[in-house]
Structure 1
Amino acid sequence: MANNKLLVNERQADLGNFMVGRLLPFRKKRQVGPFTFIDHMGPAKMGDGKYVDVDQHPHIGLSTLTYLFEGEIEHKDSIGTVQLITPGDVGFMTAGSGVTHTERTPKHRREGQEFIMHGYQIWVALPREKEEIAPHFDYYPGKDLPSWQQGLLSIKLIAGNAFGRSSPLQGYSPLFMVDIYAEKATTLDLSGQLNGEVAFVIVRGSITESSGKVEAGQMLISKTNEQCEICLEEGTQLLLFGGEPLSQEHYLLWNFVSHSKERLLKAKEDWKNKKFPQVAGDTTYIPIPELRPKS
């Protein structure tokens, strides 16, 4: 792999009752643009007692972005949101000063019929001046997101600005997230189409670029803004994401993100002492592991 790029393989982690592949952060790269955390959920068969059940847990200093290809998740949070997230739609929860939420397979999916769960859970760090804003939740139906054909490619702009278009989901700093599918083998020229750091998450299939071949379950990060051309094999689907790095270094502690390690430790103590707001009608609680902030 060329020295201006990083190749990342998914690492296994637990999420509720099934395994996910974790792509970011990792030792050599904590963020890509403002993106600080990426979990690949599935594809996994749900049903027969196996469902997504992520109990009540807190966040500060970030926005969560949920994007599904298959299955459904019911999001509930401490600001009163109850939202079903379905394939192609985007749930975007901004934690700001502090929020608590749950993510579960909805009741109507628990009636015995098996289904596939597949998608991504992504965290976007907030810039320092936005870290303590009031929490809120935004929902973007897939029909409201820009989608178009470009040659043999189907492209959907999930967030931010790219390819001369703008998504209604803009976030809080310059960023982009794009879903691309190649009907046939083809080449994509990215010259002048994206601003900032660029990462490629291969959902299925493979791509080839100057450094070699990148397969499904891997992520390629370009450490410069000069990534120009990639070749996609037939049936390949990938996510492009990235943007301008935040002006100040951010740290991650469990579910918390901040420019301040002291703020992370305060959030940790607040959660341990049950000082966070609660999801109405939910008494579950995920204890925080004994961790120190990661630089």
Structure 2
Amino acid sequence: MNLYGRQDFQGFVYLDLNQPLVAWNTARGVYCSVDCLGAGESESALSLSMANMMRGHSEERLKSEMAIECIRKNFFPDHVSRLRGVFVFDDIDSISKLWYGGEWGDHFQDDFMTDVGVSANKSCRLDANWIMDIMDESGKLTRGWLECTKNYWQGVPHPTKPPIWERLVEGWITIWGTEIKYRAITEIHKYWPQSLKLLEYSCNAAVIHSNDGLITAFLTTEKNYIHIDFYIRLIDAKKKSTFEKMDAYFKTCPEMRALTNAEMILRPLDLSDLKLKIPLTGPIEFSIWEDGRVETNLQNPTK
């Protein structure tokens, strides 16, 4: 069985602090899958990790991920989406396999790894080796992508490689590593030095279980492009009750309050230079037949 319901467990994640968006959510200390954003906020939302995977891969990687998502929706609808879920490792032996070979990218480094507490509403456990058989180094689908994708979603171990078990989680992640949060703050200070008071508010909002201060990606389409834009949630900051709740909590637990020496102004983040605009040479179309066959207009698979 590779499906899990409500569960709390310890895990490990890689947080690429070279990405200022990731650094912000890391410093905040808590982040969640987009399904936890609430009604009216999660539509068209994309996980931050998936949005960052699109950088440098563009159209082919996006189309491949949409193909994987199409198979999930039609054959494994109870599984957590790669486009919306959070990637977590729950097995230290699996993590050790990423330290050799370098196939997974530069951000899978010791310096970017931290332990986390996971509060999952649901999750699925999958062998990540299949992804390298589903798409090539350029992000393009391989000839055997469909069978490999079904094996991936079924949680089948790869037949020729030691398994690299990852969890796709719908739920909440609490970053336990103090050192990586301090490093994230240093990166934010370099990138958004005028927004440290906003970061302070974001950290304190996380403590009282508010999603305010969380940076999220949103995907929209037009005729020949897909846009991925980034936004910071600031909904509860408009409510007096939010600050009353903070004051009440920090009177009891003052050591939990984040404090900075920045001026008392919540200066917004300028996220415009981080957005993505991915050209599409044509629409992505799939046909799922009753006998389980899949037809797609994705052309010229490799291998």
In the superposition, the TM-score normalised over structure 1's length comes to 0.28
Structure number with larger C-alpha Rg: 2
In the superposition, the TM-score normalised over structure 2's length comes to 0.27
Greater length-normalized contact order (CA 8 Å, ≥ 6 residues apart): 2
